[in-house]
Structure 1
Amino acid sequence: MHDIIGRQRDNWNHLLLHSTNSLALAASAMAALAPVAPPTVAALKASAGALLATAAVTMAAVNRIQPSQLAEEQRNATRLWRQLERDVSYRAAAGAVVTDADVQEAMDRVLALDAAYPLPLLPGMLEKFPKTVEPARWWPRRRPQPQPLKSRRSKSFGRRAGSSSNGWTPELEEEMRGLLRVLRAKDEHQYLTVGRLVLTLNRGLAVAGPALAGAGAVAAAFIGSGDAGGWASGAAVLCGALAAAANTVEHGGQLGMLFELLRNCAGFYRKVQEDIEAALGEADPERRENGEVFETKVALLLGRSAADLRQFREMASPSFRDEDIKDYAGKLF
């Protein structure tokens, strides 16, 4: 369903873009011809005003729902649902014992994913112009795990001995803390900052397009009315052309899709952060995922090798300032 609806909404974007531009440009042509064709000035004036008013209403509706962003939401939902299906299928085919906790985890992922990318258009659609830009979230919030009393002892004993425990060493923990700091200060911050700029531009064009088309419709009503007829025709032509240009930049450039893409990239890095925080938050290393496996998994998610992550150890020090961080943790996006 997400795949089908994503294709449908992508078709909406192309259809509505070309239809609205055709309305605005046809109205501009009629407004330009009206002063030089006195016998048909009334018909051309009425037609230009009606087309510009229709274009203004259509633009306002399309800008409200952002079809390109809707299509991107469904593309991401399709990918994540398929990923969830592969995870569940692999676990079932592996022959491992499936516990109640495994079933609950899968159900939590289903519900979180369903809430993150709703199918209905109205009601339930995600807010297209949020006041604050936050990373997309499609994974469930972690439940706090009960800590056994011996956790602190085993951790401190391992540190005094200087040996690894379940693949975890003090050096690996420092590496993960430094990586966590870089992810938060550079990667996630970068995508949220650019996302705010795209959102501001998109919001401005969403207001400018219908406003210009509406102003053109008002100007078209004065075509042929004495001394005001000349400037009214030029104003209607100019407003219609500018409205089509704003609509093309907004929906032809798919700014809604770009904003959603940036939110999802920031969400990707937020998820990596939460995975690292969950691993470091477990006091007993024996209850964590194997340290070497975890390091390799994080490196692959970031498009790096495990050896590349060692450069982030020094950034875990409080004396190292965020302003001094030059490199980004991720290389995929």
Structure 2
Amino acid sequence: MSILQAPIFLYSTGPFSPCSCRRSIRATANAPKTQMSPPEALVVAKFYAIMDVVADRVEMHKNIGAQRDNWNHLLLTSINSITLTAATMAGLATTGGTGAPLVALKVSSTLLYLSATAMSVVMNKIQPSQLGEEQRNAARLFKQLYREMQTTMSLYKVTNIDVINEAMEKVLALDKAYPLPLLGAMIEKFPKTVEPTVWWPPKRHRRLERLGEEIDGNGWDGKSEEEMREIVEVLKRKDAAEYLRLSQKALKVNKILAISGPLLTGLAGLGSSFLGTTHGAWAVMLAVIAGVLASVVNTLEHGWQVGMVFEMYRSNAGFFRLMQEIIESNISLREVERRENGELFKIKVALQLGRSLSELKHLAALSSSRNGEEAIEEFASKLF
């Protein structure tokens, strides 16, 4: 008897909303059913309750992701406007003569620079572009989980409490990987070590009663197992390692920019505070030039969304780790009837890597040979 492994389709298509989720639930509920015992009916009711929660999670993360995208645009515009206004005031202070006009421009420029420094520190700490990417990933993965649960209801008789426990574990794992609150639970934006994002619970094997006949042999043989092992090796050696390397580079760039922005606005504020003194010439140069450079740095960091790029690379590394675990969890089972059907499984893996079945076999053959340069340089994924 085959089992339904966690699907590895991470990118879903088509419109989605809680209303459509609930309509499909009602449609399924109104469909003709076989008579169930009260315990079985309770398990199905629990499963539908979890599906409803998952549908709500999709909308929650979608809305919060849009909000945090707005934070990125509004904060970037505000900080750059304040910084350039302060630089303009510092420049005008040198032509404003002495007395009250000079003091007014000097104090205003200094206060604006201090405000920009404080806002920049907060923005660099929370990284709104990265927060938005986290919420987009969460919405997509909750949508995937909902459709996986729909597939389970369509193909299997959900009468086992283990199915409920597994669904709840997946919801909680996603909640942990992509938290909603900022205070206390926010993901560290500048970690000491870069690790792939993990949004799934430990793999467990379960049995489900299938609505239909089994495929003889379950689609597995020794050659198929060896091909999957070679695919895992390529994923580890090339794809996952490459995206971890890119994540580390993006993190380094983001750290440099996050430190440089507030530092430059702070120096500009210091320079503006010395306007009108014996060091006035150097002070105005520091105030104006540092302010302009701070605007450039902020635009590079948040306009180009370096934090989002870092999160995207880390999420891609997590995707390849998930594929490795799914493949390994299948081929590690000695009882082939407990695995997902081999033919279906190979189609899923090939599509996730952007390859045809023949290309997947060719990649496995190249990896097993380890002789030519192509076998060393080629990546498993052709999608990204």
State the alpha-carbon separation in 2 of the partners of residues 95 and 166 from structure 1.
17
State the alpha-carbon separation in 2 of the partners of residues 216 and 288 from structure 1.
64
User: In the alignment, is the contact (CA less than 8 A) between 1:185 and 1:322 conserved in 2?
Assistant: no
Aligned twin of 1:35: 94
Classify 1:92/1:291 alpha carbon distance in 2 versus 1 (closer, same or farther; 3 Å): closer
State the alpha-carbon separation in 2 of the partners of residues 28 and 238 from structure 1.
8
Classify 1:177/1:320 alpha carbon distance in 2 versus 1 (closer, same or farther; 3 Å): farther
> Displacement of 1:271 after TM fit?
0.7
Match of 1:115, SS state, is helix
> Displacement of 1:313 after TM fit?
3.0
Classify 1:303/1:316 alpha carbon distance in 2 versus 1 (closer, same or farther; 3 Å): closer
Aligned twin of 1:247: 298
User: In the alignment, is the contact (CA less than 8 A) between 2:258 and 2:301 conserved in 1?
Assistant: yes
Aligned twin of 2:188: 127
Aligned residue among 316, 329, 332 for 2:380: 329
Unaligned 5+ runs, structure 1: 146-163
Aligned twin of 2:200: 139
Per-residue CA deviations over 1:271-306 (Å, capped at 9, x if unaligned) read 111111101211222221111111111111111111
Per-residue CA deviations over 1:181-238 (Å, capped at 9, x if unaligned) read 1111111111111111111000000000000100111111111102x00110011001
Between 313-322 and 58-67, report the one with greater CA deviation: 313-322
> Displacement of 1:323 after TM fit?
9.6
Identity among equivalent positions (%) equals 48
Aligned residue among 81, 95, 101 for 1:22: 81
In the alignment, is residue 176 of structure 1 matched against residue 191 of structure 2? no
* Cα RMSD, aligned residues only: 2.0
Aligned twin of 2:323: 272
Match of 2:284, SS state, is helix
Q: How does 1:112-123 map to 2 (within 5 A)?
A: 112-123=173-184
Aligned twin of 1:197: 249
State the alpha-carbon separation in 2 of the partners of residues 79 and 319 from structure 1.
37
What is the TM-score of this pair, normalised by structure 1? Answer: 0.90
State the alpha-carbon separation in 2 of the partners of residues 275 and 224 from structure 1.
68
> Displacement of 1:87 after TM fit?
1.7
User: In the alignment, is the contact (CA less than 8 A) between 2:369 and 2:375 conserved in 1?
Assistant: no
Runs of 4 or more off by more than 6 Å in structure 1?
none
Q: How does 1:274-313 map to 2 (within 5 A)?
A: 274-313=325-364
Aligned twin of 1:185: 237
In the alignment, is residue 107 of structure 1 matched against residue 159 of structure 2? no
Unaligned 5+ runs, structure 2: 1-59, 207-215
Aligned residue among 53, 58, 64 for 1:5: 64
In the alignment, is residue 220 of structure 1 matched against residue 272 of structure 2? yes
State the alpha-carbon separation in 2 of the partners of residues 87 and 281 from structure 1.
23
User: In the alignment, is the contact (CA less than 8 A) between 2:366 and 2:374 conserved in 1?
Assistant: no
State the alpha-carbon separation in 2 of the partners of residues 291 and 34 from structure 1.
75
Classify 1:73/1:297 alpha carbon distance in 2 versus 1 (closer, same or farther; 3 Å): same
User: In the alignment, is the contact (CA less than 8 A) between 1:175 and 1:316 conserved in 2?
Assistant: no
State the alpha-carbon separation in 2 of the partners of residues 191 and 54 from structure 1.
37
User: In the alignment, is the contact (CA less than 8 A) between 1:177 and 1:316 conserved in 2?
Assistant: no
In the alignment, is residue 97 of structure 1 matched against residue 149 of structure 2? no
Aligned twin of 2:262: 210
Per-residue CA deviations over 1:18-53 (Å, capped at 9, x if unaligned) read 000011100111111111111411111111111111
What is the TM-score of this pair, normalised by structure 2? Answer: 0.78
Letter in 1 for 2:118: V
State how many pairs are aligned: 315
State the alpha-carbon separation in 2 of the partners of residues 234 and 123 from structure 1.
41
Letter in 1 for 2:313: L
> Displacement of 1:258 after TM fit?
0.8
Letter in 1 for 2:321: R
Classify 1:292/1:324 alpha carbon distance in 2 versus 1 (closer, same or farther; 3 Å): closer
